Amino acid sequence: MTSKTFSRRAFAGAGAALGATGLIGLRARASSRYSAPALIRAQDGKVKVNYWTSFGADVNGRAQQKLIDDFNASQDDIEVVPTAYESYETIAQALITGLQTGDNPDLTLFSEAWWFRFYLAGVLRDLNELITDETNADDYVQSLFVEYQRNGGQYAIPFARSTPLLYINTDYLDQAGLDVGMYETWDGIAENGPAVIADSDAEVAFAFGSAAGYGAWFLQGAVWNFDGAYSDEDLNILLTEPGAVEAGEFMRKLVGDKIAAAVADPVQDFKTGVTAATFGSTGSLGNITDSVDFNFKTAFLPTQKSFGCGTGGSGMAIVNTSPEEVQQAAFKFIEYSTSTEVTTYWSQTTGYMPVRVSARDSDEMQAFFTEHPNSKTAVDQLEKVQQVDTVMVMVPNGAQIIGQGWEQILVNDRPADEAWAETSGILDTDKEPVLEQIQEVEG
């Protein structure tokens, strides 16, 4: 077997090395750089910050636990106490319940599809009130930073940010005598997919995901590929327009021709060798690298009439029902977690994009990208992405509703125009209270 495009041992070693050096150095500096404001120091004992996160026991979870442990050890005023949930959705649902019962976090992770609901509910702290010159907000990658802005406020700070990527099993392509160029366009997948299946151990050339597996997020770019969209900025639903219908029919034919399959967990199917390629989050890179023994490569999403790719991942937000000293303490942890040094460690260990320009452009990060090109794909692709469709952000469960429409097309073989007409009706109904609430909140 040829040497890995991305070496698991080197990947893990890089993270471990930085954990043993860079973060230890951070501990020594954190007491001055991340010193607690006077209100926090005035408290009797440590200020505890209850933090709800979606990172559990895998590579990403272990990396975040190290951030928390190092931050807690770096000073005597603040203690961050994490609670791990299964996903961004379970965090959001728990917070919806908690706002009624009083069981709320002080700090939480929100995906791009959930923060807006809680902004409208008026429970997120405007972080502009906590940002100082020390925060160096201009150093955040601005295309990610501005996604949490609304009506003059800043309601989260980018942390675990990603884009969808293509993950391609290059061993299978070698078996079939093909190269990764076949995945540059949807036409290339349609034309060469049968050869991949016939001449390699892959069962399918591509795997789509489910509604629960962020299928709508991954396939958003495919709709853009065909010059369509889920919605526009005014929340008009565009699924029944030609672009979305054409995209749906193209993907339906891929499945019907047995070139692709819609599965519950496409990343798992990729890791076990069922599929030759799939969509995956940038944030899946660490876990995939840690799990597989075959060669693989990350690549930009396929194109067609035009390129299409959205941003994703999560940012850190503060719940404003907490006491002021706790909110200030939570923001200190945000500053720490998104600092140049820590975002470098986080990115190298997990695969998420560095959220600071100073980290992305550092000699250390550039050397890492040279050695591990799979990590650089998302950073390069970020130059071409656009923000997610409005309906995915503004309508509660909008992504899941669209994902269920995709399941009708890809799993139930339903014509795209029929599936999208039904989905549009649901979204048109669900968007009305959102529009009313926006009017109430913003005027």
Q: Is the dihedral of CA 314, 306, 412, 272 positive or negative?
A: negative
Render pLDDT for 242-291 as a digit per residue (tens, 0 to 9).
999 999 999 999 999 999 999 999 999 999 999 999 999 998 998 899 99
Q: Is the predicted pLDDT of residue 98 greater than 50, yes or no?
A: yes
Q: What is the torsional sign of CA 36, 42, 43, 44?
A: positive
Cβ atoms of residues 212 and 93 within 8 Å: no
Identical fold, 8-162+312-383 and 164-310+387-442:
yes
Structure tokens at 54: 């979606």
- Closest by CA to 233, choosing from 407, 438, 383, is 438
Q: In whole angstroms, what is the distance from residue 46 CA to residue 79 CA?
A: 6
pLDDT of residue 45: 78
Q: Are 419 and 409 within 8 A, CB to CB?
A: yes
Query: Which residue did the predictor score with more confidence, 328 or 32?
Result: 328
Q: Of 139, 90, 138, 127, which is closest to residue 333 (Cα–Cα)?
A: 127
Of 317, 316, 328, 339, whose CA–CA distance to 47 is shortest?
328
Q: Is domain 164-310+387-442 annotated with CATH 3.40.190.10?
A: yes
Q: What integer pLDDT is reported at residue 38 of this predicted model?
A: 75
Question: How much is the mean pLDDT over the chain?
Answer: 90
At residue 211, the pLDDT reads 83
> E strands, 273-420, where?
277-281, 296-299, 312-318
| pLDDT of res. 358 | 97
Cα–Cα dist 369/250, whole Å: 35
Q: How far is Cα 244 from Cα 129, in angstroms, rounded to an integer?
A: 41
Q: Give dist(CA 146, CA 154) in Å, integer.
A: 8
Let me know the angle formed at the C-alpha of 212 by 183 and 107, rounded to the nearest 5 degrees. 110
| DSSP letters for 185-203 | BHHHHHHHHHHHHHHSS-S
Instruction: Determine the topology of domain 8-162+312-383 in CATH.
Output: D-Maltodextrin-Binding Protein; domain 2 (3.40.190)
Higher pLDDT, 153 or 287: 153
Q: H-type helices in 102-162, by residue range?
A: 115-120, 142-145
Q: In the structure encoding, which two tokens stand for residue 389, read together?
A: 């469709």
Task: Say which residue the tokens 């327009």 belong to.
Answer: 241
- Predicted pLDDT of residue 176: 97
Q: Specify the DSSP element, H or E, that contains 38.
A: helix 38-41
Q: What is the percent of the chain where pLDDT is above 90?
A: 82
Q: Is the pLDDT score of 21 beyond 80?
A: no
Domain residue limits, the chain: 8-162+312-383, 164-310+387-442
